Amino acid sequence: MTGRNGPDSPLADVEAAPRRRSGEAAGSLVLIGGGCTADGDALATFVRMCKGDEGARIIGLTTASADPVGSAVAWKSDLAVAGASNVEFPIVDRRARAQHQDVADIIREAPGIFLGGGDQVQLVATISGSKVGHAIRDAYRAGAIVCGTSAGAAALTEVILAGGEPDEDGTLIDMHIGPGLGLLGFQAMIDTHFAQRRRLQRLFSAVAANPAYMGLGLDEDTGLVVHGHLGAVVGKGGVTFVDGRGVRFDNADAVRLGAQLTLSYLRVGIVGNGYVFNLRERELETLVRAKQTPEATPTIR
């Protein structure tokens, strides 16, 4: 490996991955698990990939935040530290603004799109199906780099996960499983702040109730860089994957009535920094390649 993003790095392999199916988006996703530091590798990877460090335009949305204006100011400062010099944050804090054609137009032409954190349900409800929502999808299909952190990452899947945890007063909030923005397919749902907030049990419960889906738990200040069906892990932590397709027994229905979760044959793994995950096969890419060429010895990095 010749450096963090050198020609022999897993990230370079992901970015150079050929398209295998017609209709796949030309862009890439940078999915960050929240707790994103301005000088961290995860945010820097997004800025570099969209050429924000060369002056390319980045359009950010803080729609998920309870304070969209304050959040926009903070993120603009952080992106500047990460090397971006041409950043705009149009305030899209309600559905009517998500229908503004001028905002949609600048998003559609932007090489980089950034979605900040907050409430993923609010984010999806505000922009899904709107002119802004369609513009994000169009830009991604055309080749834009779309980055989401925390709620911004969670909202980019076909199905979003929220709730299922006690609030500040200790009252359990019902788990929400609903439609997302749909940029990340592969029947995946994302949980963020994963190791830091000890959310493995929540992801187990979500997958038990939806066994066809794969859960991806993103640690803080950690990114999963997805291009096509491959995702490389960058940053401080790891990405946990939970695959429910082989489950032989679960009591998900009883859990809704207050029972403790019971599962058998749930498949769980962790992907660390510098490794590539095959989202289509739900397995480390090095193992997928080894299976395709049995005589080859799996290599790391």
* Per-residue pLDDT tens over the stretch 26-45: 999 999 999 999 999 999 99
pLDDT value at 212 more than 80: yes
Task: Note the helical H segments in 29-111.
Answer: 41-49, 68-81, 95-98, 101-108
Return the closest-CA partner of residue 63 out of 167, 136, 151. Answer: 151
Count CB neighbours of 182 within 10 A.
16
| Percent of the chain topping pLDDT 90 | 74
Contacts 24+ apart (CB under 8 A), 163-166: 164/202, 164/205, 164/206, 165/199, 165/202
What pLDDT score does 172 carry? Answer: 65
Q: Do 3 and 266 meet the contact criterion of CB atoms below 8 Å apart?
A: no
Q: Do 90 and 127 meet the contact criterion of CB atoms below 8 Å apart?
A: no
Single-letter residue type at 229: H
pLDDT value at 273 more than 60: yes
The domain ranges of the chain are: 26-292
pLDDT value at 229 more than 50: yes
pLDDT (mean) for 49-69: 98
pLDDT value at 204 more than 50: yes
Cα separation of 190 and 159, whole Å? Answer: 8
- CATH topology (fold) of 26-292: Rossmann fold (3.40.50)
Cα separation of 234 and 147, whole Å? Answer: 13
| Percent of the chain topping pLDDT 70 | 89
List phi, psi (to 5°) of 199.
Answer: -100, 15
What pLDDT score does 48 carry? Answer: 97
